[in-house]
Structure 1
Amino acid sequence: MKHGKKYVDSTKTVDRNKLYDANEALALTVSTAKAKFDETVELHIRLGVDSRHADQQVRGAVVLPNGTGKSVKVLVLCKGENVEAAKAAGAEYVGSDEYVAKIQGEGWMDFDVVIATPDMMGVVGRLGKVLGPRGLMPSPKAGTVTPDVARAVTEAKAGKIEYRLDKTNIIHCPIGKVSFGPEKLEQNLNTLMNAVVKAKPAASKGQYLKSCVVASTMGPGVKVNTAKYGV
């Protein structure tokens, strides 16, 4: 893959073999972000687990203290009194069967988060093939299947992110925008790292945090020293 001049210049300031402390890594990430838009900063964590085994899955959700910098469109699938509660909390779309039909029939996907009440899961299950591959399927572990829809909507709007392993045992998560600056990004990074460490499966043996890289949308990856997180 051929990279542009700005990317090549940015890579010259990053030592590929060095493990940087989080604050140093984020300062580098911010300084090497040269795009004309406010780039997203992502964290990529490789874990010493095997995602093929059910007892080594790592998945959960966490509210980043400084949010993600992205406005989130929320769809809540619910009925009865929960409808008004979800609307009052700021959900863009609230309903039940009509939205399920819209997703199934029209391929409608104009939302970033799906929240559902437990009584809706029989209906929501029909959307598994559509929402699952996109990481949008509601789940109790992520707090997106809940009777307390108002709280779930508020958290989603405040910058709650879901983390999960991909097939190569890596977690990819946004931790904010370049415009946040290193300090706020570090607070978000620490919150996510602590959540992932806390979610370490009992079946995991050996080194848990294999590697950690932070990068902006168009910038080079910077390796982060994970020693302070203790696993």
Structure 2
Amino acid sequence: MMELEICVDSLESAIAAEQGGAQRIELCSALREGGITPSAGLVRAVRTRVGLGLYVMIRPRSGDFVYSNEEFGVMRDDIALAAEFGADGVVFGILTAQGDVDIARTRELVELARPMKVTFHRAIDMSRDLVAAVNDVVEAGVDRVLTSGGAPSAMQGLDQIAAMVDVSAGRVEIMVGGGVRPDNVQQIARATRADAFHSALRTAVPSPVTHRNASVFLGQVGLDEYVRHVVLAKSVKNLRHAMEELVERKRG
């Protein structure tokens, strides 16, 4: 069976992911910045309302993946909180300044997280040698890697993802992310031989607010403050259907 993980940053989207047939969610905040650790209240609410596998992003800030001792301490605390709130897994990525996987720190967090599962996120796409990085995360004890093959999208990184699947040799699961959609997931699966996929599937939803101050930006200048991006159940169903269709073809 192919696995589908949906990246969400709200309770609304988490519920939609479950209704659409996903197996797992990655829960973040601030997806416009690539995702950071969600609040304790959001984690608790999602765990209470959603029965899917719940993986919590552990990322104390946006930007690069080289962390100070203080930031690393925050990551340790957030992993403990994720476990307390009933998460099934955590998601993080730590690199050295030279662009290698920080094996020692990754292993420390993996051991702290157990018995939860651990995904090493797309920080791996910023590493200098993806094949070597796969071996490094295996050494650190990681269960799963999320990757676009070091490219802007999975479609552009097909060959590298396939190489990562080969070198993993079943020691760690390679999960493909980065622009995975119903119209390309079958091509990605055939080209990479991966069977786990990750997608945000975000749809813009206009705000119901009628009074608007368009001259003020509370976040990045130029971003529309009156548009939210959410996951729709029908989007997840369409992606799930495309994946199941490929499985049926293989069986036939």
Regarding TM over 0.5, the answer is: no
The structure with the greater share of residues assigned to helix is: 2
TM bucket (normalised to shorter chain) is: under 0.3
Larger C-alpha radius of gyration, 1 or 2?
A: 1
TM-score (norm 2): 0.26
